[in-house]
Amino acid sequence: MPPRKLYFENIRVGDELPAMAKAPLDRVQLARYAGATGDFNPVHVDELAARGLGMPSVVAPNTIGMGFLAQLVGDWARGAQVRKLSCRFSRMLWPGDTLVCKGRVADRHGQDGKYFLELDVWAENQKGELVIRGNVTLKVFYSVEDENRLRMGQPPLIVNVQRQSIRLAPTAPVAEAARGTRAVKAARPARASTPVRVERPTRKAPVKKPKPAKAKRK
C-alpha cells in the first residue's frame, strides 16, 4: 500500500497535526547531537563549564527542539515540499525535559497552479510551558490528478483559492476582551481623531446712522 500523501483539496484551515511526544532529553543524546552538528560548545556537554557560567547543569541546544518540530511536519506532510521553517525560542531546554510537539493549519491559498499551506507549530515541555513556536510553509499538489498531470509533463490543475486564514481572526477570549473594551469606550465621549475647526459667525460692526445736518442761520 503506497504511503499516504498530503493534498491541498483535503486540508482545511484549523486542521490539527497529531501531537508528537519525545522521550526526555538525556546527556547521551546531547553528545550525539553535538557530534552530528559539529557544535561542541562546552555548555552543552561539559557540566563544570556550564556551572562555571552560573547554570544548574548543561543546557540543550535550542536547535534540537527545532529538529523535533521539523520531524512533526515531515511525518504529517507526506509528499509536500517544505519551503520555509522558522522558529522562535522562549525557554531553555534542559536534560530531563519532555517535549510535546503540536501544530495546526493556519492558512491555505492557491493560484496559477501553485498551492500552499501555512502551519503554526510549537513545542511544550512537561510543565505545559511554551518552549518553541514556529511557522512552516508547504507547497503541495492540489490532488492526485494534479500530481499525475505534472509528472506526465502536462500543465497543472488550475484552481484559484483565495487566502483562508485563522491568523487574521482573534481567538474567542481575545474577541470577548476586545468587545468588552469597546463597550467601555463607548460609554465615554469620543474624541475626534483630528481637531475640528468650528466656524463661528462673525459679528457685524454696528452701522452708524448719519447725524442730521444742522440748519444754517440767515
Q: For residue 4, what pLDDT is reported?
A: 76
pTM over 0.85: no
Same domain, 121 and 140: yes
**197 has a pLDDT exceeding 50:** no
- Report the domain count for the chain: 2
Q: Does the pLDDT at position 10 exceed 90?
A: yes
User: Which residues are registered as beta bridge partners of 200?
Assistant: none
Query: Residue range 193-218: average pLDDT?
Result: 50
CB 24 within 8 A of CB 97: yes
Q: Are residues 51 and 108 in the same domain?
A: no
Find the Cα–Cα–Cα–Cα dihedral 75, 128, 88, 134, rounded to 10°.
30
Q: If you average pLDDT over residues 25-36, what whole number do you get?
A: 93
Average pLDDT for residues 179-206, to the nearest whole number? 42
- Determine the angle formed by the axes of helices 62-76 and 27-37, rounding to 10 degrees: 80
- The pLDDT of residue 217 is 56
Question: Do residue 67 and residue 14 come from a single domain?
Answer: yes
33 plus 52 within the same structural domain: yes
Q: What is the mean pLDDT of the chain?
A: 82
The answer on 7 and 107 residing in a single domain is yes
Same domain, 7 and 86: yes
Query: Do 35 and 139 belong to one domain?
Result: no
The pLDDT of residue 95 is above 60: yes
Whether residue 68 is found in the same domain as residue 159: yes
Same domain assignment for residues 127 and 83: yes
Residues 54 and 71 both lie in one domain: no
Q: How far is CA 169 from CA 8, 127, 166, 172, 192, in A?
A: 22, 28, 5, 9, 27
* Tens digits of residue pLDDT in 50-68: 999 999 999 999 999 999 9
Please check whether residue 211 lies inside any domain of the structure: no
Burial class (CB within 10 angstroms; exposed 0-12, middle 13-18, buried 19+) of 206 = exposed
pLDDT at 168 over 70: no
Q: Residue 158 is part of a domain; what is its CATH number?
A: 3.10.129.10
Question: Tens digits of per-residue pLDDT, 109-166?
Answer: 999 999 999 999 999 999 999 999 999 999 999 999 999 999 999 999 999 999 989 8
151 and 79 belong to one structural domain: yes
What φ, ψ does residue 198 adopt, rounded to 5°?
A: -100, 120
Residue 72 has pLDDT above 60, yes or no: yes
Q: What is the largest CA-CA distance in the chain?
A: 137
Looking at residue 157, its pLDDT comes to 92
Measured CA distances, 39 to 25, 31, 62, 65 (Å): 17, 10, 12, 15
- The residue that leads in pLDDT, 4 or 26, is 26
Contacts 24+ apart (CB under 8 A), 85-88: 85/134, 85/135, 85/136, 85/137, 86/134, 86/135, 87/62, 87/132, 87/133, 87/134, 88/132, 88/133, 88/134
User: For residue 81, what are the domain limits?
Assistant: 1-20+61-166
- CB neighbours of 151 closer than 8 A, spacing ≥ 6? none
- Reported as a pLDDT band with limits 50, 70 and 90, residue 209 is low
